[in-house]
Structure 1
Amino acid sequence: MSHYAVFGHPVSHSLSPRIHAAFGRQTGIELNYTAVDAAPEAFMQALDAFAAGGGRGANVTLPLKEAAFALCSATSERAQRAGAVNTLTRNDGQWHGDNTDGIGLVRDLTGRLRLDLRGRRALLLGAGGSARGVAPALLDAGVSELIIANRTPERADALADALGEPERAHSRYWEDLVNEGDFALIVNATSASRSGATEFSLPFQLSTPRTLAVDLNYGEAAIAFLAWARTAGCRDMVDGLGMLVEQAAAAFEIWHGVRPDTAPVYAALRGKDASLVTAD
């Protein structure tokens, strides 16, 4: 039996084991997929132990995505553009890294929800591993401008520079967002709600009724941002559950060479109580 896992901290409530088990049943592929809690300082040792035990692939969630990138002997173009890895594959005794976060988000929005991202002026909140994963894909999907804001401005500056598109990708100080006008797309890639924050503070003038508000978190972790979006008058609001399923499907295809059907898996998860589950 093939061994796979998701690494994160915390990770005990991740839905990834359930998602990959469902994909395995659907495609007739027998696999064992577990969750491994690894603090950043213990990640390398935990990954080595997993590989020694026969681990063939792994997903990586917060806060380990940038550390995973540094541990890879080879990385895909998507991972290189992001500077972060969420999918690891064991090849010839070494880890090869990819990033399926961005393609997962875009597939959920343009596929399942049939939304058009082209020409949208976009605001990306956050500059950590999750933001790095989705930023290149948003540019590839055709957003007209991508403004990146982070509580630590140096990280926003670094991400904007790494994207290599100075005409479209720019960083801004969080406190200066009040002067930025409105956006057709606002993506929350921060971890504020994971830290127990119950309110999300942003200027309401950033949105209009036509603004699409997307949180990369889901369940309880998405409540604060989506509540802000609702109060700000956004008509369309999306949490990160669909992205989670889509990025998992992309990882599954990398490992097994077959793409599973995401629709029934998403529908089954949406019917369950995910209020205590953290996003990947």
Structure 2
Amino acid sequence: MITSQTGGLGLLGHPAGHSKSPEMMNAALQMMDAPYVYLAFDVTPAVLKQAVEGLKALKFKGWNVTIPHKTSIMEYLDGVAESAREIGAVNTVVYQDGKWTGHNTDGTGYLRSLKEETSLDLSKQRVVILGAGGAARAVGYALATAGVPKVTIANRTLDKADRLAEHLSRWTSTEAIAISDCQDEVREADLVVNTTSVGMFPRINETPIPADWLHHGQIVSDLVYNPRETALLQAAKLKGAQIHCGLGMLVYQAATALELWLDKPVPIQLMKQVLEASLSGNKK
């Protein structure tokens, strides 16, 4: 029940009307008996500063940040956590000890989901990341700090891949290289991660790489969550590979944000169920 004591949490993005976070977050807050409500706000870049000042004035506990504000939000905060600084983007803002601090839970959320669903030993994985954008940076940072020995960044624009590989090479335990033609590297990889939007609804028949490059024994991971099982994952499964879909990352990055805000256990299974039901409703 919403009362005069109910606190605020939310999402800033543009657009924001497509977000499924309110359904997932409010279901979790209700089960946790937490006195907060989670709302989505469509905020254009021109009024981002005013929106942030408004949330601060209204004493929000914190909020999530999505496209196109993940970088520009930083100038309106008191500080940025190491993960967000290294990734170069903020997706969660937390009020603590009188300060507003930006965090990034994307990489953490990805790793938590990957480990839960695959139980793989990251210290022995040869990884190919398809794409070199913000999602690739978050996943690459998480894998490098977890001790993955080799990461190959495959991107059509080699300069962009080079910059990300150079950044990831700062962690001495990880060899990071950049390429544009990744056929041989994909065939040799233990883990292939698609961080691009290829295969996302409604272009569900597209794949970022040919199915013939995949094989039994690999783990193929796709950050796209709509559809849950992309054309890439369907092809990988037919080849005998283990698959990992993007829905888990979406749930765990949200769960990590809730943990930062409330410092208490989060009902992750409920969040998964609500998100799955919400996405299924989209297709009806």
Q: TM-score, normalised by structure 1?
A: 0.84
Tell me which residue corresponds to 1:238: 244
Is structure 2 residue 246 aligned with structure 1 residue 259? no
Tell me which residue corresponds to 1:7: 12
C-alpha contact (below 8 Å) 2:130/2:153 kept by paired residues:
yes
CA-to-partner distance for each residue in 1:52-78, whole Å, 9 max, x for gaps?
A: 443331112234323334543311122
Is structure 2 residue 225 aligned with structure 1 residue 214? no
Identity, % of aligned pairs? 34
Report the Cα offset of residue 194 of structure 1: 5.1
Where 1:209 maps in the other structure, the secondary structure is: coil
Q: Which of 134, 138, 144 in structure 1 is aligned with 2:149?
A: 144
C-alpha contact (below 8 Å) 1:121/1:143 kept by paired residues:
yes
Aligned letter for 1:114? S
Report the Cα offset of residue 36 of structure 1: 1.9
Aligned letter for 1:16? S
Report the Cα offset of residue 135 of structure 1: 1.5
Structural mapping, 1:92-111, within 5 Å: 95-111=100-116
Report the Cα offset of residue 214 of structure 1: 1.1
Structure 1 stretches of 5 or more lacking a match? none
Report the Cα offset of residue 167 of structure 1: 6.3
C-alpha contact (below 8 Å) 1:81/1:136 kept by paired residues:
yes
Structure-1 separation of matches of 2:68 and 2:195: 12
- Aligned residue-pair number: 275
Tell me which residue corresponds to 1:120: 125
Q: TM-score, normalised by structure 2?
A: 0.83
RMSD value over aligned CA atoms? 2.8
Report the Cα offset of residue 190 of structure 1: 1.5
C-alpha contact (below 8 Å) 2:20/2:278 kept by paired residues:
no
Tell me which residue corresponds to 1:201: 208
- Range with bigger deviation, 72-81 or 188-197: 188-197
Report the Cα offset of residue 227 of structure 1: 4.2
Structure-1 separation of matches of 2:156 and 2:74: 23
Is structure 2 residue 193 aligned with structure 1 residue 187? yes
- Range with bigger deviation, 180-189 or 215-224: 215-224
Report the Cα offset of residue 98 of structure 1: 0.9
Is structure 2 residue 67 aligned with structure 1 residue 62? yes
C-alpha contact (below 8 Å) 1:68/1:86 kept by paired residues:
no
Structure-2 separation of matches of 1:130 and 1:40: 20
Structure 2 stretches of 5 or more lacking a match? 1-5
**Distance change (3 Å), C-alpha of 1:272 and 1:36:** closer
Structure-1 separation of matches of 2:118 and 2:173: 29
Report the Cα offset of residue 146 of structure 1: 0.9
Tell me which residue corresponds to 1:160: 165
Structure-2 separation of matches of 1:5 and 1:68: 14
Report the Cα offset of residue 43 of structure 1: 3.6
Structure-2 separation of matches of 1:57 and 1:146: 34
CA-to-partner distance for each residue in 1:23-66, whole Å, 9 max, x for gaps?
A: 21222111111112234455444333333443331112234323
Aligned letter for 1:182? E
Structure-2 separation of matches of 1:215 and 1:92: 37
C-alpha contact (below 8 Å) 1:218/1:241 kept by paired residues:
yes
**Distance change (3 Å), C-alpha of 1:55 and 1:236:** same
Report the Cα offset of residue 218 of structure 1: 0.5
Structure-2 separation of matches of 1:169 and 1:12: 40
CA-to-partner distance for each residue in 1:79-136, whole Å, 9 max, x for gaps?
A: 1221221111235775311111112111112124433333111111222222222222
